[in-house]
Every structure is written in structure tokens, then in C-alpha cells.
Structure 1
Amino acid sequence: MTRRRPLWRSEYWFVLVLIAVSYTLCALQTGPNPSGVAFLVQLATVAVILWVAEVRPRLRRIGWIVLAVAGIATAGTSLLGASGFYLDVVLAAASALAYLVAPMAIIAHIVRRDRVDGQALLAAIAAYILVGMFFTFVYNVIALVSSVATFGPDQPDSLTTQLFFSFTTLTTTGYGNIVPVSAGVQSVAIAEAITGQLFLVIAVARVVSGWTRRTNGAAG
């Protein structure tokens, strides 16, 4: 019988730390322009997730190569002091793509597991936060390419604001102090709210079904 790994030794703790660092770097940005440093941390986070989530070796190697190329390109542009509209849009879109791939890899890992334990719970938390980060950069891309203020003239189109709005929408908290003004952003917000609720329902169902199997197995 394989010995069960203690929860404190789960690699998902490291993933959560990287996500927290990435979140903090985004929250500190008072403008809409993505940070190259934050993007490098995001790439490192996704690279670790591909390993922790036990993605197929071939896909993992391809992912690491793509991430390495993106990281080298980002570091090069930062060292050269390059900046501009197109670079900001590329960074924002790449961040959204990275935060789309990462939770999908984690969710696939949870589904493949034959039991629900503390590590599966940490994985679900990580995936949930990553979904919120994904929608944050969707709003960021929209803000960069749109000529209309995302949340009206009284709210700055900063990553800080977008991050706050994304997570209040994902959790359906809805304080009401930040409201999207365009039909496109409103549609994305609706999609995020639905995604957040479906994620919680599916996660709870997975935990309950896994716990039931463990209980029945123990009783048998």
C-alpha cells in the first residue's frame, strides 16, 4: 500500500504561495499596463503547476518550452526598456491564456485522482483563485483595447480595480461600488459569475462523492 503523503508536504502549498505573490504584484499596479516582472512570476507559476498537476510528460515539456521562450522574450524586452500599447496588449493576453491553462491542468488533476483528501482541497482552492485571475486579465485586455472606461469615468482602469471587481464577481459578492458600463464587459462579468457558481457546485459535488466512496470503502 502506498503511504499517504502528509498535507503539509503537498506541492500545492508552493503553488498557492506563487499565486499569492502573483496576486500581490497585480494588486500593487495602479495602472492598466501589465508588469513584466509580474508576468515572469505568472510564467513560473504555470510551469510549477504543469509539474504538480502531473500533466502528461510530452505536453509538460512543450508547455515548459513555450513558457521559457515567453520568459526570455519578456526579460529581453524589459532589459531593453521596451514599452508601448502592443506590448501591453500582448502581455495581458498572454497572462489571460496562462491563467486559463493553469486551472484547467489542476482541475484535470483533481478529476484523475481516485480519492478526495487535503491535497485535492488545496488544488481546488488554487484553481478557483486562478479562474479569478484569468477574468482579471480578460478585463485588462478589454480596458487596454477599448476607448471607453471599463467601469465608468469615476473608476480608474487599473489592475487593482480589475482584480477587485473580478473576485467580487466570481464570488457573487457584488458590493456595487464598481459597475461595468459596456455591454461587452457586462457579458464577461455574467460569464464569470456563472463560472464561479458552477465551480463551487462541481467542487462540492466532487468532495461529497469522493468522501462517500472513502466512507463506503472503510466500512467495507
Structure 2
Amino acid sequence: MDKIILASSSPRRRMLLRQIGIPFDIIVGSAEEKMEPSTLPWDLVIELSRQKAEDVARGLGKGYLVIGADTIVVHRNKILGKPKDMDDAYSMISVLQGDMHEVYTGITLIKTSDNIIKSGFEKTEVHMRELSPEIINAYIDTKEPMDKAGSYGIQGIGTLLIDKIHGDYNNVVGLPLKLLAALLGEIDIELFNYITFKSQECE
């Protein structure tokens, strides 16, 4: 089987793959991401995931399966990235609270043996509950928001901010596993064949 390479430094994506017992190595590319500000959200995450995967795949020989991924938060057609500082995090959460937003993740797979490339995206709707300034500040003080798109992490303390979601929870974390399995199936690779008998959750 091809060796899986995760082209991402995201600890959340590493966590999700490890939870289901997938062995992989991490290689993070160095190329600068390029995008047009007017690009539609789903096209944007696919393009950025493709850039990440291709940057890593260029340095590899045959026998590898590279996974690139990119996640963004969109509120009322505005893309929210990672906060620049605590004030920026406060502004983002203040906008999101009491309202619905979307989370998009794009995935690109590259099979280096025959240069097969397959991409797709997942969308999840998230409704954040109404939050007081005190709650927002208390959350920001945990420092959890500082490395996350939209300034919150649903898999951590940030779950207390969320009222409900519609769609794939793992997509909001950063890697929609059902989409990953579906894309692999399109190139005749069964994700179950990679799963080890002992996943992280069993330890």
C-alpha cells in the first residue's frame, strides 16, 4: 500500500487520523499559498488544499498518498481566518455569536505512483449561541482561539459556545473523514485497509 503523508501541521487533523488508527507521516510544504479574494469558498478550500498537497508531492517519489486539507469559516459571505491577536479573536466571536456560519474544508489527494489527483469539499452549518462579553473574554483568556479559523475550536472548550450544527462534526474540527474515505474510494483505495487494529481511542 502507498504510504500516507499528511501535508498539514494541524494538530486537529493529526488527532482525527490517529483516532481511527491510520498510520501516517507529516510533511509540511513551504510554498506560499496563493488565492484570489473573490474566489467562492468551496473553490478556495479546494485550491488551497491542492496547493498544499502538490507542494509536498513534488519532493516525493512513487509509493506515496499525499493528503492536503484547508478549512475556512464563512459568516455572511465573509471569510474569517485565524485571529491576529486577542482583540481580533474577540471581534470574530462577537460577530459569530447568536448567528449561523458555515465551515468549509477542502481535501486534495495525490497518488504519486501515477500522479492521480482527486479533490472535494465538505460544508457544515454551525450555529453559535448568544454570548455575553464576559463569556467571550473568558474563552479568549484560555488562548484556545488563537490558532483556529473563526477563533474557536469545537473539539475543545469552544464546544460550549455552540448551540447546534448541521453536517459533519469532523469537518468543523478540520478533516471530514467521510469525505476522505469517499475520495479514496474514487481512486480505488479503501481507507479501512489502512486502519490498524489499535486506534488511539483504544489506548
TM range (shorter): 0.3 to 0.5
Q: TM-score, normalised by structure 1?
A: 0.31
Q: Which has the larger radius of gyration?
A: 1
Q: TM-score, normalised by structure 2?
A: 0.32
More helix by share: 1
More strand by share: 2
